[in-house]
Each structure stands twice: as structure tokens, then as C-alpha cells.
Amino acid sequence: MTPTPSVDLAPYTTFGIHAVAEYFVSVTTIDTLLEAISWARTRGASFHILGGGSNVLISGDVQGLVIHIRLQERSASVEGDVVTVRSGAGENWHQVVTWTVERGWAGLENLALIPGTVGAAPMQNIGAYGVEQSACFHELDAMNADTGEIKTFTKDDCNFGYRESIFKRELRDKCVITSVTYRLSTVPTIRASYKDVTEELAVRGITQPTIMDVYSSVVAIRTRKLPDPKVIGNAGSFFKNPVVSAQKATTLHESHPLLPVYPQADGSSKLAAAWLIDQCGWKGVREGDAGVHANQALVLVNHGSAEGAQIIDLATRIQQSVFDRFGVELEREVNVW
């Protein structure tokens, strides 16, 4: 295991921001992952874990060692109507979702076409179209960066929240996810109540959808509404949808009747960040090569040669304008290095 010095990270992130890693290594086994961490530790250098790079904004050159996770593993066992699927952290998320849907294993179909790797799914607790990965999550294995020990984390251990987990907060840079296990089913529960999915199925004339119908609809919706990182650099939704008190949501809705409000099970309300940003006039704004996507205000983009600092500055001003107008704080969903 010999890291490569001075590697441009642009090809390894969907934002495509040019930034140089002091050292870089791709790891395909648990042993090489341990070697890479040990290499950094013995030199007193920091290390950074990079998966698919689909939820990362790099603000400048990165000191220390960037460890690119490429742990590949895919297996499944069926017991009755329960399917236990285990996947390496470096597997492509969408490919794993496709693999399960093609076999009739239900649970992940609403999460199709989300970019990134399997290891990032529990870290971010990814979600889309009414479903979060935590709904099917069973357990994961993660390496303790100090001891090299592999520990199994249950669902409760992970402290999942809205785009949150213990790995994004308390255990960030302390544990490295190596594999994830999901519990799926051969007896589908179709989840198609989300407005966009319902409308897409109606357009297709489908009244009794299968999991493949839901999967195909989600792929079509995401393809139509979100920019392809291969065409224009982006990391998907840059901000979380803000969660506020029911009273705050009611007050805002009285002043802004078109504001989408989604009541939550705990009595709070989730607001549509894209709507708030759009109302502040940011949709389609471009400043040099940094901008806001013309069709989706929640997506910040790199039109070619934007720097990470430019994207961060733009994001900060968007946050301030939304707070000034609505009194609502937007929190970044994207991880900034």
C-alpha cells in the first residue's frame, strides 16, 4: 500500500471541484484500509474517507491522506419472505438497488438513482420519495480508526435522524463503514403515496404498481428533475429541508399560502427548502461558474471551473437571505472539507 502524492480530486467528486490531495490511495480490502490509516497515523497526518464523492464539497487543497473506499462485496440470503442483503461500502448504491429490484426484493426501490456508494447511505441516512434507508437497515460493520477493530452497529446504535447518523456526528473520522446489511422482503409493500411518484404512475396508466414500476418512476423523475453530475457538477440537494415547530409552520403558511408544509410524526413540520430559496430569487442565478440550478433551487452547481470557496460563499448568502425573509435557518446537507 503506497499512497500517491499530489492527486487532483476533481474526478472523484460529483461537484468536479479541482483540489489537490497531498496523498491519495484507493483501498479494496480491509487489510489495505487498515494499512492506509496506519500509514497516516505513523506520520502524524490526518486522513479523509472518500466514497462516491456525491455529497462532498472540497473547499481547497486537502492535507494528509485521502482514502478512497472501494470495498466490493455483495451477497444475499433468503429465509421465508425475508431477504438479507449485505454489501461492501464501496459498492455503487444505484447498482445495488437495481440488483435487488430485478430479483423482486422490495424495500429500496424508492431510493433508486441516488448517486454515491453504499457506505454513505447510512452515514447520511439517505432518503427520497417518502422513504429513508433506515426503514430497511439491519446492521453495518465499521472499523475503529484507532484500534483497527471491526464492530457491528445495530439500527439503534446508528442514531438515525433526518439525513443524520452517529457516523456523521459523534463518530465522524473515528469509524470507517466497511459493509452494510439490509433486510428486504419478497412480499412487497408498495410506497407510492409521494406526490411525484403518484403523478408519474398516473401518467404511465399504472394503477397497481409493482416495485419495478416504482423504481422506474423514481428513475424517470430524478432524471428529469435533477442535473446529471456528468454534465454539470453538483452534489444533489445542497440543503436539508428545514424542520420547524408546528406553530412556526402555521404562521409562515398564513403569510405564504403556497409554502409546502409537511407535518411530521413528532408534531413538528418540515418545509420545502427549494421553495424558500426560489422565493428569495436564487433559482438559476450564476456567478462565474458557481450557480443555482435553473430547474431546482435546492441544487448548487459548478458550471465548469468554480472553486469550492465560491460555492460556499454562494451557499452562505442563500442561507442568510432565507433567514432574513422567513426566519428559517437552512442547514447544509453536503459535507464540506
Q: For the chain, which residues make up each domain, given as ranges?
A: 4-69, 74-185, 233-336
The C-alpha atoms of residue 90 and residue 67 are separated, in whole angstroms, by 12
Instruction: Kindly report, residue by residue over 214-253, the tens digit of the pLDDT.
Output: 999 999 999 988 888 889 999 989 999 999 999 999 999 9
The C-alpha atoms of residue 157 and residue 179 are separated, in whole angstroms, by 15
Q: How many CA atoms lie within 13 A of 192 on its CB side?
A: 24
DSSP β-ladder status, 62-69 and 47-50: parallel
Catalytic residue among 165, 179, 216, 237: 237
Averaged over 46-72, what is the pLDDT?
Answer: 94
- pLDDT on residue 167: 94
Beta carbons within 8 Å of 139's beta carbon, 6+ residues apart: 152, 153, 154, 155, 180, 181
The C-alpha atoms of residue 174 and residue 191 are separated, in whole angstroms, by 35
Instruction: Kindly report, residue by residue over 102-141, the tens digit of the pLDDT.
Output: 999 999 999 999 999 999 999 999 999 989 999 999 999 9
Asked whether the CA dihedral 171, 172, 177, 181 is positive or negative, the reply is positive
Told to judge if 255 belongs to the known catalytic residues of this protein, a careful annotator would answer no
The C-alpha atoms of residue 325 and residue 279 are separated, in whole angstroms, by 9
Q: How far is CA 270 from its chain centroid?
A: 18
Of 26, 23, 62, nearest in space to 42 by CA:
23
| Eight-state DSSP code of residue 304 | S
Told to judge if 237 belongs to the known catalytic residues of this protein, a careful annotator would answer yes
For residue 1, pLDDT beyond 80: no
- Contact, 212 vs 204, CB < 8 A? no
Of 130, 129, 207, 120, nearest in space to 167 by CA:
120
Instruction: Kindly report, residue by residue over 275-302, the tens digit of the pLDDT.
Output: 999 999 999 999 999 999 998 999 999 9
Of 3.40.50.1820, 2.30.130.10, 3.40.710.10, 3.30.465.10, the CATH number of 74-185 is 3.30.465.10
DSSP β-ladder status, 131-132 and 82-88: unpaired
Residue 285 C-alpha cell reads as 442565478
SS3 of 266, please?
A: coil
Our CA angle for 179, 185, 189, nearest 5°, is 125
Look up the CATH architecture of domain 233-336.
Answer: Alpha-Beta Complex (3.90)
Q: How far is CA 193 from its chain centroid?
A: 22
The C-alpha atoms of residue 153 and residue 141 are separated, in whole angstroms, by 6
For residue 205, pLDDT beyond 80: yes
pLDDT band of 152, cuts 50, 70, 90: very high
Please compute Rg for the chain using Cα positions: 20
- pLDDT on residue 145: 92
Burial (CB count within 10 angstroms: exposed 0-12, middle 13-18, buried 19+), residue 239: buried
The amino acid sitting at 235 is A
| Eight-state DSSP code of residue 73 | -
- pLDDT on residue 265: 85
Our CA angle for 150, 154, 160, nearest 5°, is 115
Told to judge if 163 belongs to the known catalytic residues of this protein, a careful annotator would answer yes
User: Which CATH number is associated with domain 4-69?
Assistant: 3.30.43.10
Residue 149 C-alpha cell reads as 477493530
| Eight-state DSSP code of residue 81 | T
* Mean pLDDT computed over every residue of the chain: 94
For residue 67, pLDDT beyond 90: yes
Averaged over 32-58, what is the pLDDT?
Answer: 93
Catalytic residue among 163, 191, 222, 332: 163
SS3 of 134, please?
A: helix
The C-alpha atoms of residue 9 and residue 24 are separated, in whole angstroms, by 9
